[in-house]
Amino acid sequence: MNSKRIILITGGQRSGKSSYAMKLALSLSDNPVYLATSAIWDEEHRQRIERHKKDRGPEWTNIEELKDLQKVDVSNRVVVIDCVTLWSTNFFNETNGDVQLSLMAIIERFEAFIKQDATFIFVTNELGLGGISTNDLQRRFTDLLGWVNQHIASRSEEVVLMVSGIALKVK
């Protein structure tokens, strides 16, 4: 592989985003990379992560990186980044909810990461489809993720919206 390709898979919770991304990656490579961005919040979450690792199977290279994706070498690989929402959460928490500071750090790392020749499949949540939260912190995070998603979508060759397990091509 000697070219870069960026694909964004977005949708609501449990819409089938990760399953679609993983099937796509396996259709493009016999040994894709799964780049997990989630911190472990509690014991239930840790068990969920372990289950997901086992479900992926031996063909996957599993890498965990909470923030500095640009440090992960995925040259000439197909990589699923799961997910942008949790990746953004890590910055948002570290900056105590500073949207601008988080957005700048995320975009800077995203741009450095995608300089590699690879097929990038980013998974994210479309939080802005619901009502406006009465919680200030939630509103700010929804704004942050919306801007991050817009940036990634603008750099993507393909954008897919997942609705109830059905992939709708947006771009």
Q: What is the distance between the alpha carbons of residues 44 and 55, in angstroms, rounded to a whole number?
A: 17
The active-site residue, picked from 52, 53, 56, 151, is 52
Helix axes 84-94, 136-155, angle to 10 degrees: 130
Edge-first strand order for the sheet with 78-82 is: 61-64, 33-36, 78-82, 119-123, 5-11, 158-163, 166-169
Q: What is the largest CA-CA distance in the chain?
A: 47
The question of whether 52 is a catalytic residue gets the answer: yes
The two three-digit tokens of residue 93, written as one number: 């928490």
Catalytic residues, which ones? Answer: 52
